[in-house]
Amino acid sequence: MSESKTTIIILYDGLNLLTLDGATGAGGKTRARVTLKPGKNVVQLSDWHIVKDAKLGSSVLPLLIDQGKIKEMAPQTPTDAKSSATVDPENITSYNAKDAISLIQNTFEVEGLDVFQSQEIVAGNRTTVLDAITKQREKITVPVDENTGGS
């Protein structure tokens, strides 16, 4: 029996790291802790559910979700009978174009964009998604100014 993917992508629109604790178990130990950095975060689904379901009075998570500062990115479910493969939450082609572009706009590492571009070229080749990758790469890549390098 194959186990389904156990991660989820969380987009965090904040300026600083955010650490969220889940409910405490026996002996007062925290059952789950999730730290979100600004942008794309790959989180264990089980930990996310524990943190999300925690009934902590001081939790800011519901407020941040309501404000749209934290978004869960769910890959689209295959709809055709031929596709029985497990959906990969880290594969850009698992998302519809709108969600894929949102994920790209929240990716701040060139390496991550390179992976998305390779995935899209091989399996999707959607021009809107490829254009978004190019624009995000330009946005996060700071060109070296030859006139200011040195003395």
| pLDDT band (50, 70, 90) for residue 1 | very low
The tens digit of pLDDT for each residue in 55-66 reads 555 578 888 888
Q: Could you give the angle at the alpha carbon of 146 between the alpha carbons of 142 and 151, nearest 5°?
A: 115
Of the three residues 58, 73, 88, the one that is the final residue of a domain is 73
- Domain match, 113 and 61 both: no
- On whether residue 148 sits in a domain, the answer given is no
- Cβ-contact 107, 113 below 8 angstroms: yes
The tens digit of pLDDT for each residue in 16-68 reads 888 888 766 666 666 788 899 898 888 888 888 888 887 555 578 888 888 89
Per the structure, the complete domain to which residue 27 belongs is given by 1-73
pLDDT for 25: 66
Q: Which of 31, 34, 32, 44 is nearest to 12 (CA)?
A: 34
- Cβ-contact 3, 46 below 8 angstroms: no
- On whether residue 106 sits in a domain, the answer given is yes
Of the three residues 23, 57, 73, the one that is the final residue of a domain is 73
The tens digit of pLDDT for each residue in 103-114 reads 899 888 888 899
More confident residue, 76 or 18: 18
Write down the residue that tokens 């709809």 correspond to.
79
Alpha-carbon distance of 60 to 52, in angstroms, equals 10
Of the three residues 54, 73, 92, the one that is the final residue of a domain is 73
